[in-house]
Structure formats: structure tokens, C-alpha cells
Amino acid sequence: MFINLLMTICETTILDEFPEFEKRVIESLRQPLEDNIVSISRAKGSAIFPSNFILVAAMNPCPCGNAGSKKKACICKPSDLDRYKRKLSGPIIDRIDIWVSVGNVDYKKLGEEGTGEHSEKIKARVIGARVRQKERFKKLGRDIATNSEMNVKDLSTMVKLKKEVRDLLDDSAEHLGLSARAYHRVIKIARTIADLENSPEVESNHILEAIQYRPKVNA
């Protein structure tokens, strides 16, 4: 119930230690992530609320947290690791667009000044991308604002992929065994990457980057 309420009032919902939530709680995310609504049923009736939110979930690579570490050995049994991964079902994994693995950071480097792109520049690129998306949809007569809101029909009419780009996507989808949902989400992410680069067309490098964000938790 608490999670459902969060999804109706928060623009961003952050869930740390994601697999440690009860499986029924995790599975309750299916509908809001897919349809942007939350259905709450009680003895006296049910209600539907809008739920257009961003989910940010974090998890360790294994129950003990040391899998892949160069300094600490993982003490998890294979059965523990299997149980941990199975907390995230295929439908939930499919509905999360971007998966990023982050390695351990040495404490000595925490105080060092970063060398990445400045946040103000990133903010400007994001604002520019959002403006381009909104203008594109307005020209095409769609009352939506972001790429994430496109349905399957929108993708076929609004995101025209060149043959070599489509072939790359199809080959990658076949090789990785992507579901139809994951396939369409890759296109949305690729279109967003192109918007961030102010590129009018989705190019092969945008598809390749989008595919890199598909999950590897069950690998």
C-alpha cells in the first residue's frame, strides 16, 4: 500500500536494495510502469490513480554484495544467488529501460574532483532534448511530451529507422532474445539519446548505446 501511494504522489520513486522487497511488492510495479496508473482494491471497492513516475532502483550484485569485487570474496552459495536473482521476474526486468552496473569506488577517490561533464551542461542538454520531443509530437498532432509516452503505433510513425539501423536493431534483438516490449523500449531510448545529441535521425551508435543499457542481472 505504501509503495502504491508513493507512485501516485512522487515524480521519482527510489527503492534501495530492490530485490530485498517482498516479491508481491516488486510485482505490483508492473501496471504503473507499463500503463502509468495504479489500481488500489479494498473490500469496499477499488480506485484507479494516475502514476506517471520515474523508478530508480538499486541492488547489489549478490546477497553479500561482494560478487565481482577484487578485494573481497563472495560468500554466497549458488542457491542464494539464484534465489536473489529470481526475485526480479522477466516482466519487471523488461519494464525497466536503463540498467547500469556501478563498481566499487575507492574511498581515497571520493574526495577527488570529477572529470565528467558538468551538471549544468547536462541539464541544458536534457532541457533541449525535452523541447525537441515536445515540438516533434506537437507537429504530429500527439498530445504527449516525452519519448517514453510513445505507444507502438507512435514508434512506427514517428521514429523512422534507416534500413541499416533497423537491420542492426533486428540482429541485436535476435541475438539477445529481446521481447517485443524490450525491443520497443530500445527504440525509445535510442531516440532519446539522439535527442540529447540534437540528432534528427536515430543512428547505429544510438541503437548500440541503447542496447548496452539492457539488463544483465540474469546473465
At residue 39, the pLDDT reads: 81
pLDDT at 45: 80
C-alpha cell at 93: 526486468
**Are residues 40 and 7 part of one domain?**
yes
Residue at which a domain ends, from 63, 96, 129? 96
Q: Name the packing angle between helices 163-176 and 204-212 (round to 10°).
A: 20
Q: Domain boundary residue among 96, 127, 158?
A: 96
- My answer on whether 83 and 138 are in the same domain is no
- The whole-angstrom distance between residue 198's C-alpha and the CA centroid of its chain comes to 21
Is 125 a member of any domain?
Answer: yes
Shared-domain flag, residues 16 and 84 = yes
Note the pLDDT of residue 216: 65
- Asked if 40 and 1 touch (Cβ cutoff 8 Å), the reply is yes
- 67 and 133 share one domain: no
pTM value?
A: 0.86
Establish if 7 belongs to a structural domain. yes
DSSP letter string, 26-54: HHTTHHHHHHSEEEEEETTEEEEEE---E
For residue 95, what are the CA distances in angstroms to 13, 32, 58, 72? 15, 10, 15, 32
User: For residue 207, is it within any domain?
Assistant: yes
Our count of domains for the chain comes to 2
34 part of a folded domain = yes
| The pLDDT of residue 5 | 53
Structural domain boundaries, residue 77: 2-96
Q: Are residues 193 and 145 in the same domain?
A: yes
Per-residue pLDDT tens, the chain, 219 aa: give them. Answer: 445 555 555 588 899 999 999 999 899 899 889 988 888 777 778 888 888 889 999 999 999 999 888 889 999 999 999 999 899 999 999 999 999 998 887 777 777 777 788 899 999 999 999 999 999 999 989 999 999 999 999 999 999 999 999 999 999 999 999 999 999 999 999 999 999 999 999 999 999 999 999 986 444
Closest CA to 27 of 87, 99, 97, 96: 87
What is the chain's length? 219
